[in-house]
Chains A and B, each alone.
Chain A
Amino acid sequence: MLNINYKARLSFLLCLCVYSAPSFATGPRVAPSLFTSNTAFLYTSDFPPFISNKAENQGLLIEIINTVLKSSDITAEVNILPSKNMAKYYFSQENALAIIGYDFNFSKKTQQKSIFVPILSIDEYYYTHASVQQEFKWNGKLSSFKNKVYGTTKGNNVEKYKAAGIKVKYGRLHNLLQKMQKGQVDFIKSPQLTLNAELHTDFPQQQSAFIKMETKAAESVLGIAFNTQHADGKQSAEKFKQGLQKIITSAEFNSILQGYLGSEVDVKPYLKHLK
């Protein structure tokens, strides 16, 4: 009896040693990152006030998208990257669920596997610096900017500018405005809201030095492109379209827009694409 009790105690102690050994080991610690989640990612790049890590709810466009995602029961997380090309990489090479923004400049192959859902219409204008304003005669044709230097974000389509004999320099909006001040870039294209946000934050004393050319440069549409190569791509695109329609009809869309742009703002121009 005593012997059995001793063996049982010994076995218990041995088991205790064996099972508790890993907790004394000095190997890699268990990190939360070892557990993967099933959340799908939507990639985009900074484009204030529409898309911004610094803005409340990540900006106007992202708030609309998150509202639609929630109402459509799509589990996805928006990841704002500092490089548009990185966002495009995740979409085209890693089959991310979707990419958000505009002017994706996709290859034909990538374009074919995407379903674009338009969300917001925006008018874009060309801007120049007061010091070279007189040299610009914008008549709606890019040929009038021949030999000038156009500043834009890497990843945007610049073929038509190059074809018109315009030189292209790349940078973030902040850097492009600095380059315009230094005379290294002659003009840029931007929605008025985006430029005003940047000037207000980072160039408060020089706002009047950046001149808008009154004739509209382009009508663009911000939206979300779903990836048909993603397992949920087609289904999510369909659910998103329906969800977007719902919030437009319910006036929730207007409410978000007015939250950012002021209650007096006319929302119709932002929905031009619906026509």
Chain B
Amino acid sequence: MKIPLLLLSFLCISCSHTPVSNTQVEPSTVGLSSARLQRINNLIDQHIEEKKIAGAVTLIARKGKIAHLRAAGLADTNKAMKTDSLFRIVSMTKPITSTAIMLLYEQGKLLLSDPVSKYIPEFKHQKVIEMLPEGSEFPYKLVPVKRDVTIHDLLTHQSGILYLASTGWFPNAKREQVVSFYRDAGITDGFCRPDETIGDMVKRLAKLPLYAQPGETWEYGLSVDVLGYLIEVVSGQKFDQFVQTEIFDPLKMQDSHFYIPKHKLSRLTADWNSDWKGSLERVTGPLIDGDLALCPNDAYATSGKYLSGGASVLSTAYDYFRFAQMFLNKGELDGVRVLSRKTVELMTATNHSAKHDATLLHSHGWKFGLGFAIQQDRSHSVDSGDEGVYEWAGYYSTRFSINPKEETITLFLSQTSPFGAHFGLWDKITALSSSAIAD
């Protein structure tokens, strides 16, 4: 009796997801066309030849198997890109931080509807800026919040907290005024690593005016950095330790770090400044453009105080694939359950921000869930993907996309500034990845 039971158990385990590995499978075994995937190689090589990008790692996976993992071009001057090269994934940190929050939610330690002030008292009695008509004696007034900022607002970027860099993206007088307070208070976007703790920054940020009433706007900003500190307060652990033990370790993301270990420094990819017309230069210092401050060289620090929930993680294509595959598997990977199926469904639902579209990476048609933008309909400028595809990006031109319907993951990692220039390339990669489906 015992033997059949054991056999049955073994069969059950075999029937579920087979362990994920970085071994590539023949694309046809997962319903992908080798010839069509080759088009991605051609596209990347063409961009390298034209000196639009120095190099890239691309990864296409389907049904839990990697069908395409390729490194091309340079990782640094005189150093070839490798599939295990390390990248500053910047805002692709945000889905990781959001996952960490959802772990605490699943442990019953917080509710998404909780006001942030329940855990960080500085968020009590926040004010919202309102500009006064031109010609008024004073340009603005501060009015009380109609309701407190909640954890849900932070996850969905509906808190009214901005990025300083947004003055360059969507300039207006109100935004400029809020950001001027941020500047006074020494708030930074976290793309450079300041010499302070995230808690110090968040406590100051909490006392500054919001750009809009909580829930009444979609503004991409420092909300997820606040979540990073919230994780410290609720869990009692340092943010990076919590992520390590609750996400990186269970998912065997062995090359994902907030600060890179010394022995991996040689694998860190350089950042390149590209005019997208053939002029490509390795970035040697900070990149300052108005309120946008990027410090790619800060990634070479092997230790530091600042742990940005919105920007600090360094990772590889394979590690991020493992993270994405956990989502595609509805919360588990290699028999380890990280999130419940219901939580993944909650995170990828499109009705969190009913009134607002996530219009940063695309135009309309995308909604923001709890850590990702999710394609809701076709009334947008992207040519590929299905309803329900979710994705996000990083400021040094890194992207990922998860298609639950087709069970595909598409990853593109480069280190190219400025950010917006790669959008066309990414759209083509997702179009080629999608059109490689051959079943």
Contact = CB atoms under 8 A, between A and B. Distances in A.
Nearest to B117: A33
B192 to A, nearest CB: 10
A170 interface: yes
Interface in B356-410: none
A155 interface: yes
Given A28-B147, A31-B115, 5 more contacts: A33-B148, A86-B181, A90-B142, A171-B186, A202-B196
A265 B196 CA distance: 31
Contacts of B142: 89-90, 94
A170 B184 contact: yes
Given A53-B203, A81-B207, A93-B141, A202 B195 contact: yes
Contacts of A174: 186, 195-196
Nearest to A84: B184
Contacts of A53: 203
Contacts of B138: 92-93
A215 interface: no
B185 A82 contact: yes
A175 interface: yes
B136 to A, nearest CB: 11
A172 interface: yes
Nearest to B115: A31
B186 A155 contact: no
A175 B186 contact: yes
Interface of A: 28, 31, 33, 53, 81-86, 89-90, 92-94, 153-155, 170-172, 174-175, 178, 202
SS class of chain B's interface: helix, strand, loop or mixed? loop
Contacts of B209: 86
Given A93-B141, A174-B196, A82 B125 contact: no
Contacts of A93: 138, 141
A154 B183 contact: yes
Contacts of B79: none
Nearest to B209: A86
B161 to A, nearest CB: 14
A170 B115 CA distance: 34
Interface in B132-174: 138, 141-142, 147-148
Nearest to A53: B203
A175 B208 CA distance: 18
Nearest to B184: A83
Contact of A85 (B115, B141, B184, B203): B184
Contacts of B195: 174, 178, 202
B204 interface: yes
Contacts of A178: 195
B352 interface: no
B282 interface: no
B124 interface: yes
Interface string B194-228: 01100000011101110000000000000000000
Which of A28, A83, A154, A174 is packed against the most chain B CB atoms within 10 Å?
Answer: A83
Contacts of A86: 181, 184, 207-209
B141 A82 contact: no
Contacts of B141: 93
A172 B185 contact: yes
A82 B183 contact: no
Contact of B125 (A33, A153, A172): A33
Given A154-B184, A170-B184, A172-B186, A82 B196 contact: no
Contacts, number: 54
A82 B148 contact: no
A16 to B, nearest CB: 29
A33 B124 contact: yes
Closest 8 CB pairs of A and B: A82-B185, A83-B184, A82-B204, A172-B186, A154-B184, A83-B185, A83-B181, A175-B186
A146 B166 CA distance: 35
Given A89-B142, A154-B184, A174-B196, A83 B203 contact: no
Contacts of B115: 31
Interface in B204-256: 204-205, 207-209
Contacts of B204: 82
A172 B115 CA distance: 29
Nearest to B187: A82
Contacts of A94: 142
Contact of A155 (B125, B147, B148, B184): B184
A31 B144 CA distance: 14
Contact of A82 (B124, B147, B180, B208): B208
Which of B115, B125, B181, B185 is packed against the most chain A CB atoms within 10 Å?
Answer: B185
B208 A83 contact: yes
A178 B187 CA distance: 14
Contacts of B208: 82-83, 86
B224 to A, nearest CB: 20
A33 B127 CA distance: 13
19 contacts: A82-B186, A82-B207, A83-B181, A83-B208, A84-B184, A85-B184, A86-B181, A86-B184, A86-B207, A86-B208, A90-B142, A94-B142, A154-B180, A155-B184, A170-B183, A170-B184, A172-B184, A172-B186, A202-B196
B207 to A, nearest CB: 5
A170 B148 CA distance: 31
Contacts of B148: 31, 33
Contacts of B147: 28
A28 to B, nearest CB: 8
B117 to A, nearest CB: 9
A84 B207 CA distance: 12
B186 A85 contact: no
A258 to B, nearest CB: 29
Contacts of A172: 184-186
A146 B334 CA distance: 67
A154 B177 CA distance: 13
Nearest to A154: B184
Nearest to B124: A33
A83 B147 CA distance: 23
Nearest to A85: B184
A94 B209 CA distance: 15
Nearest to A178: B195
Contacts of A92: 138
Contacts of A85: 180-181, 184
A218 B305 CA distance: 35
A261 to B, nearest CB: 25
